[in-house]
């Protein structure tokens, strides 16, 4: 066998080997990115479940004629705002807007629930009691979904940033994703005051 043919075979083998390696790395990045998208879909599904539950309790509360209408309107407006935000998980700004809208909805709803405590007729309705237990489970699901999302983002970001994957990621335009972050101020423990006399 002459040396020219041997060189061509070696170079061809190296090209095939590098091509297979590159395809493997590219497919791994695609798989990780799809996983992030799937897990984000789970986060949105759980937020949708919460919104649906909020809609149900709002209908129950609206049936209570004497209930404080201002707070109810705040929740309805916050719910509308939260459902209008479109999220692109590749855009940190849209993720932050979505998170802020969900936080405003949860805050408005928390005020509504605190006021609902003052209405004994409302608190005793079966629909309202069912809602209270379902919302607790939904909030837990949301928390787990956000944790799963952050885990998927961690896996994806490690793949896009570690060598030699980062070469393939840069070449094909894979960029790091943003983690789901806690709302500002939640790192501080809430102050609890008991005014017992």
pLDDT in tens, 79-109: 777 777 788 878 888 888 888 888 888 888 7
Average pLDDT over residues 59-67: 64
Percentage with pLDDT > 90 across the chain: 10
Average pLDDT over residues 179-191: 65
Asked, as a colleague might, if the bond just before 164 is cis with ω within 30 of 0, I would say: yes
Distance of CA 155 to the CA centre of its chain: 16
Total domains in the chain come to: 1
Report if residue 166 sits inside a domain: yes
Candidates 156, 135, 143; CA nearest to 182 is: 143
Report if residue 180 sits inside a domain: no
Average pLDDT over residues 191-197: 46
Residue 44, pLDDT score: 86
Give the pLDDT confidence of 28-62 residue by residue, as tens digits: 889 999 999 899 888 888 888 888 887 777 777 76
Report if residue 107 sits inside a domain: yes
Looking up residue 53, the CATH number of its domain turns out to be 1.20.1440.20
Report if residue 105 sits inside a domain: yes
Report if residue 74 sits inside a domain: yes
Residue 85 φ/ψ region, left for φ over 0, alpha for ψ in the -120 to 50 degree band, beta for the rest = beta
**Phi/psi at 21 (nearest 5 deg)?**
-60, -45
Report if residue 42 sits inside a domain: yes
Give the structural domain span for 95: 34-172
Residue 192, pLDDT score: 44
Report if residue 3 sits inside a domain: no
Report if residue 24 sits inside a domain: no
């Amino acid at each position: 066998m002459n040396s020219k043919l041997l060189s061509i075979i070696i170079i061809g083998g190296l090209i095939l080997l590098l091509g297979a390696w590159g395809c493997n790395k590219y497919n791994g990045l695609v798989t990780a990115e799809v996983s992030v998208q799937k897990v984000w879909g789970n986060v949105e599904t759980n937020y949708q479940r919460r919104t649906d539950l909020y809609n149900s309790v709002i209908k129950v509360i609206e049936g209570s004629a004497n209930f404080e209408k201002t707070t109810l309107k705040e929740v309805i407006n916050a719910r509308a705002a939260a459902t209008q935000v479109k999220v692109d998980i590749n855009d940190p700004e849209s993720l932050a807007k979505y998170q802020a809208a969900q936080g405003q909805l949860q805050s408005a709803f928390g005020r509504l629930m605190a006021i609902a405590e003052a209405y004994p007729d409302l608190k005793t309705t079966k629909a309202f009691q069912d809602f209270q237990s379902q919302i607790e489970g939904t909030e837990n699901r949301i928390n787990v979904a956000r944790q799963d999302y952050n885990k998927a983002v961690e896996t994806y970001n490690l793949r896009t940033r570690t060598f030699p994957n980062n070469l393939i990621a840069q070449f094909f335009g894979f960029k790091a994703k943003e983690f789901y972050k806690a709302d500002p101020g939640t790192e501080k423990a809430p102050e609890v005051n008991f005014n017992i006399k």
